[in-house]
Structure 1
Amino acid sequence: MDKQLSSPSYRPLYDQIKVLITQGLIGGEWKPGDVIPSEIELAARYKVSQGTVRKAIDSLSAENILIRRQGKGTFVATHSEEVTKLRFLRLTAIDGKKELLQNELISCVKSKADAYIAKILEIKAGAATVEVKRLLTFSGRPLIYDHLIVPAVSFKGLNSNKVEECNGSMYSMYESQFGVRMIRAEERLKAVAANQEVAKSLGLKEGYPLLSIERVSFTYGDKPMEWRLGLCLTDDHHYMSELE
C-alpha cells in the first residue's frame, strides 16, 4: 500500500475520507463495477458528516474513479463501460466521423526492464516485464504503432493469446483478468520520424513524420503499471484533449 495513503492525518478531512475510500479500492473491498456503501453508511463508518463523505465522493467522481448513477448509487468505475473504454485514446478524425477501431498483434514477448523503463515503472533494472507491440487500425487503415511494457509480476500469464482475445482495450483486459485498473495517465507528445520497423508496419516511407505519444498509466495509490509509446499517423487525424 502506498505510504502516503496509510497516513492521511495531515490532509483536509474530506481528503482523508477520500484516501480511506481509495484504500478500500486498493485492498479489493470494492471491485470495478461494484456499488459502494451509501453516503450515510460511509459517514457512520468513518464517523464524519454526510457532507464530508459527499465531497470526497465528488472528488473521486471527478477523477473517474467512481461513477454516480441517479437513483442507483455510486459505483466503482470500470474500463468495460463504453464511456471509459477508450478514455485514453485521443486520436480523432479531423472530420469528426466515428471509426471502427481494431488492432493487430505484432508481438508479445517476455523481456527485462532497462534502466529507463525500470525508473518509470518503479521496478529494479533487469526485472521481468512483458512487452507488447500492436498495430491499431481506424476503419481498416493502420494509424498507430502501439508499443507497451508492463511488469510481469503484476500480469502473470499475460501472453499473445490474451492480447488477441481482448481485441480492443488493453485496460479492460488488465482489469478483468489481472485486477489492475488504470485510473490516470501522464503523456508526453513530440514529433518524430518513422524508423524502418514502424514505417513498414504503417505502410510509410522511412523518415515519415509521426506524432509520438509516450504514456505512463497509474493504478490506485498512484502506482505506475504501464509504459506505452504510440507512434501516430496524423495526416487526416489529430490529437484532441479537453481542458478544464
Structure 2
Amino acid sequence: MNSATSNSSGNAAPGASAGVASSASPTFSPLYQQIKALITQSLQSGEWKPGELIPSEVELAARFKVSQGTVRKAIDELSAENLVVRRQGKGTFVATHHEERAHYRFLRLMPDAGEPRQAESRVVEVKRLRAPAEVARMLELKGGDSVIMIKRVQSFEGVPAILEEIWLPGALFRGLTAERLIEYKGPMYGLFETEFGTRMIRATERVKAVSTEAAVGELLAVASGTPLLSVERVSFTYGDKPVEVRRGLYRTDSHHYQNELS
C-alpha cells in the first residue's frame, strides 16, 4: 500500500507584487492572500519569533492599509496551516514546536487504548557524511553535500515502538551532535527551532507495510518477519524548502497510525 498525504483578483497590497505569466499577461491573487504572504515573510524573517505575540488585526490592517476583515481572513488561513495560534482573550501567537499541542502534529502513532504518551528517545547513532543520491534529491542538495544522519529508537513505557533514520542538511545543522541531542529534553523539532532557526511547517509522507529485518528486529525487540509500518516523511520549512527526510519503522501491535482528513 502506498499513499501520500500532506498536510479572483484584488488590488495589490503595499509591498506585494503581482506575478507575470509567461504570456506577459498579469495575474492577481486575492488581497487576503497577498496579506497572508506578507505576514508569512515577517514570520520567515524572524520579525516575530516562535511563541511571540504578533500585532493585532487592527494594527496589521493599519500597517498594510487594508480592512480588518482582510487581515482576519489571512490569519484564518495561517492558523489553519499551524503557522500561528489564536488564544481567546490574549491574541494571536507565532506557533512553536514547544507547545504541548504540537508534539503530536507530526507523530501519528497512537496507542490502541488510553491517552497518547510522550515517547522516550534513545539516540543510537549520529554521523556526518556525504548525502546519498536519493537523500540529496529529496533535500534538494547537490551530490556530495554534507548531511547529518541520526538514528534513534522511540519507546512508550519502556517498549520500543519506532526506529527512525533522520537526514538533515549539514549546512543548516552545524554543531548538532549526539551529546546535544541526548542532553536536550524537549521535542526534537523544538531543538531545531530554538538552536538552529529551522521550523518545520508542513510534511509529506509515504506509508507502506514492510517486514522486519534482523538488525531492525534487535532494536525494536521483535522477531524477523514481523509486519511493520514504514513511513517516509519529507518536512519543509518556510518557502517550501525541504529540510528533513525521516524514515521510520513503526510497530503496530499495540499502536495505530492516525490521520485526520478534511
The separation in 2 between residues aligned to 1:219 and 1:200, in whole angstroms, is: 34
Q: Who is 2:99 aligned against? A: 81
The separation in 2 between residues aligned to 1:134 and 1:108, in whole angstroms, is: 9
RMSD: 1.6
Deviation of 1:70 (Å): 1.4
The separation in 1 between residues aligned to 2:227 and 2:182, in whole angstroms, is: 29
Instruction: Indicate conservation of the 8 Å contact 2:98/2:186, yes or no.
Output: no
The separation in 2 between residues aligned to 1:8 and 1:160, in whole angstroms, is: 46
Q: Who is 1:133 aligned against? A: 151
Instruction: Indicate conservation of the 8 Å contact 1:86/1:169, yes or no.
Output: no
Q: Who is 1:151 aligned against? A: 169
- CA gap 1:192/1:7 in 2 versus in 1, 3 angstroms: farther
Amino acid at match of 1:224: P
Pick the aligned partner of 1:189 from 207, 219, 226.
207
Can you list the C-alpha shifts for 1:38-63, whole angstroms capped at 9, x where unaligned?
11111111111111000000100011
The separation in 2 between residues aligned to 1:100 and 1:61, in whole angstroms, is: 25
Q: Counterparts of 1:87-106 in structure 2 under 5 Å?
A: 87-106=105-124
- Does residue 164 (structure 1) correspond to residue 179 (structure 2)? The answer is no
Greater percentage in helix: 1
Amino acid at match of 2:109: L
- Does residue 56 (structure 1) correspond to residue 77 (structure 2)? The answer is no
Pick the aligned partner of 2:39 from 21, 26, 39.
21
Q: Counterparts of 1:193-232 in structure 2 under 5 Å?
A: 193-232=211-250
Q: Bigger radius of gyration, 1 or 2?
A: 2
Instruction: Indicate conservation of the 8 Å contact 2:132/2:143, yes or no.
Output: yes
Q: Who is 1:3 aligned against? A: none
Instruction: Indicate conservation of the 8 Å contact 1:33/1:75, yes or no.
Output: yes
Amino acid at match of 2:61: A
Q: Counterparts of 1:105-124 in structure 2 under 5 Å?
A: 105-124=123-142
The separation in 1 between residues aligned to 2:185 and 2:216, in whole angstroms, is: 21
Unaligned segments of structure 2, at least 5 residues: 1-15, 20-27
Q: Which moved more, 1:6-15 or 1:153-162?
A: 6-15
With the length of structure 1 as denominator, give the TM-score of the two structures.
0.94
The separation in 1 between residues aligned to 2:164 and 2:152, in whole angstroms, is: 5
Count of residues paired in the alignment: 240
Deviation of 1:7 (Å): 4.9
The separation in 1 between residues aligned to 2:102 and 2:248, in whole angstroms, is: 19
Can you list the C-alpha shifts for 1:51-88, whole angstroms capped at 9, x where unaligned?
10000001000111001111211100001010112311
Amino acid at match of 1:93: P
The separation in 1 between residues aligned to 2:255 and 2:18, in whole angstroms, is: 44
Amino acid at match of 2:234: V
Instruction: Indicate conservation of the 8 Å contact 2:232/2:245, yes or no.
Output: yes
Amino acid at match of 1:176: T
Deviation of 1:31 (Å): 1.0
- 3-state secondary structure, aligned to 2:171: helix
Q: Percent identity?
A: 53
The separation in 2 between residues aligned to 1:20 and 1:196, in whole angstroms, is: 51
Q: Who is 1:30 aligned against? A: 48
Amino acid at match of 1:187: E
Instruction: Indicate conservation of the 8 Å contact 1:85/1:172, yes or no.
Output: no
- CA gap 1:197/1:168 in 2 versus in 1, 3 angstroms: farther
Amino acid at match of 1:220: Y
- Does residue 12 (structure 1) correspond to residue 12 (structure 2)? The answer is no
